[in-house]
């Protein structure tokens, strides 16, 4: 296996989107192929150049926040250590290249997604995967913004911290809410076109106002 950084447009991105991402995520959580063109993508390839999996990051250079939007493996190759090697390589590369203050990831809460379709993976196993690598969830009522008007928001997710620069840790168990809130405001502007003020969003803003956010 080798890991390759890919900038779009690139023919491997079409293979990754069609054969890895599409079987791994429900439509409400999946962006289009075109959206990969501007993302930070690292692909794991076998000796024949076939895409085994990949990681996709959305980088905000002003805030120095990276969102791991997707980490997925081709069906049939899960559980062989490829995902862990890919994530470790990706986090090391992003830390070296960008010096981020935060690297975040959206992960399904197993209790909220107990009936997840088997082909999309086991939410409990996915959460254990991230926790084994030191990821911790922010104690906020998180949901994924609507990626398109048709898809709607996705509730029942954790926003997990994969990396935090020391200056953004209020303590060993809490994070400064300011960069998280600023990042989320930008996320909503891109996806939903405005910073929302509905009750669901206001609960999120309340959790990201004032006091440091506990890490679960």
Tens digit of each residue's pLDDT (9 = 90 or more) over 23-45:
888 887 888 888 888 889 999 99
At 114 the pLDDT is 66
Residue 118 confidence (pLDDT) above 60:
no
* 201 confidence band (pLDDT: 50, 70, 90): very high
Mean pLDDT taken over the chain: 90
pTM: 0.89
Angle 201-204-208 from CA coordinates, rounded to 5°: 140
Residue 70 CB partners (closer than 8 Å, separation 6+): 21, 24, 25, 54, 55, 56
At 29 the pLDDT is 80
Cβ proximity of 207 and 159 under 8 Å: no
**Minimum mean pLDDT range among 49-53, 105-109, 113-117:** 113-117
The range of the structural domain enclosing residue 27 comes to: 2-214
At 12 the pLDDT is 93
Question: Percentage of the chain with pLDDT > 90?
Answer: 66
CATH code for the domain in which residue 124 is found:
3.40.630.30
* 75 confidence band (pLDDT: 50, 70, 90): confident
DSSP state of 21: I
Phi, psi (degrees; rounded to nearest 5) at 110: -60, -35
Q: Give Cα 68 to chain centroid, integer Å.
A: 3
At 48 the pLDDT is 92
Q: Collapsing DSSP states into helix, strand and coil, what is residue 42?
A: strand
At 120 the pLDDT is 60
Furthest-apart CA atoms within the chain: distance in Å: 52
How many structural domains comprise the chain? 1
């Amino acid at each position: 296996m080798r890991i390759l950084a890919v900038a779009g447009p690139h023919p491997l991105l079409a293979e990754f989107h069609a054969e890895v991402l599409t079987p791994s995520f429900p439509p409400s959580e999946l962006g289009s192929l075109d959206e990969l063109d501007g993302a930070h993508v690292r692909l794991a390839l076998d000796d024949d150049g076939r895409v085994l999996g990949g990681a996709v990051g959305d980088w905000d250079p002003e805030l120095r926040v990276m969102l791991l939007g997707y980490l997925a493996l081709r069906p049939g190759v899960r559980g062989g250590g490829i995902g862990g090697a890919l994530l470790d390589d990706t986090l090391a590369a992003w830390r070296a290249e960008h010096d981020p203050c935060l690297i975040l990831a959206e992960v399904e809460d197993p209790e909220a997604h107990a009936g997840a379709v088997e082909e999309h993976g086991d939410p409990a196993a996915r959460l254990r995967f991230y926790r084994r690598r030191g990821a911790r969830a922010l104690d906020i009522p998180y949901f994924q913004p609507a990626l398109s008007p048709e898809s709607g928001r996705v509730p029942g997710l954790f926003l997990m911290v994969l990396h935090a620069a020391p200056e953004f840790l209020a303590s060993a168990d809490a994070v400064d809410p300011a960069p998280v809130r600023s990042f989320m405001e930008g996320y909503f502007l891109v996806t939903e076109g405005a910073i929302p003020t509905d009750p669901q969003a206001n609960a999120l803003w309340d959790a990201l106002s004032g006091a440091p956010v506990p890490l679960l």
